[in-house]
Amino acid sequence: MAIRQILYAGDPRLRQKAKPVKQFGPALKALADDMLETMYAANGLGLAAPQIGVLQRLFVAYLPKDEEDPQSGKEFVLVNPQIVQASPESAEGVEGCLSMPSWYGRVARSEWVVVKAMNVHGKPIRVKAHGLLARVFQHEIDHLNGVLFVDHIRRPEDLWQELPKEEPEESTPEVVTAVAQPA
């Protein structure tokens, strides 16, 4: 496994539509493993293949374990995902993106989605995601279509930047050297 370089907004590959995965096997599994490692290293909840320069329809996701959310604490690797059903109700929530560090925005997304996909071995899977996981799935599927979360922002006040706070410099005590004078 290896940590891959994440592309940043402005890279034209992030605006291209990813191609369906046609070959399943060890190379795809290795790519998914690299993506998971990269996502964890960057403290993300999801990562789409185009974000590391691979224009294939694949994304990974993981929500930290939360006793109240049965979908948390599980890794998701979805190949050729498609939203086949979505709630008519939407909810606004704050999103960020590993390709746009320090930028956040309020985005409306469907409250739940049903996603049809394949696993890394080519077996069909179907996931009904709700709440935060549904938001992550929709965000990552957008990446596969060349869409960034900022494309959903309608009002300027719904997009902001939060720069990391600089750590205060530790003060080093002044060292005074006394020179003994002959008596």
Which residues are catalytic, by number?
140
Virtual torsion, Cα 98, 88, 91, 47, nearest 10 deg: -10
Helix (H, G, I), strand (E, B) or coil at 112: strand
In sequence order, what are the residues at sequence separation of 6 or more whose Cβ sits closer than 8 angstroms to the Cβ of residue 123?
none
CA distances from 163 to 102, 104, 105, 144 (A): 6, 11, 14, 27
Q: Are 152 and 143 in contact (CB under 8 A)?
A: no
Virtual torsion, Cα 92, 94, 99, 103, nearest 10 deg: 120
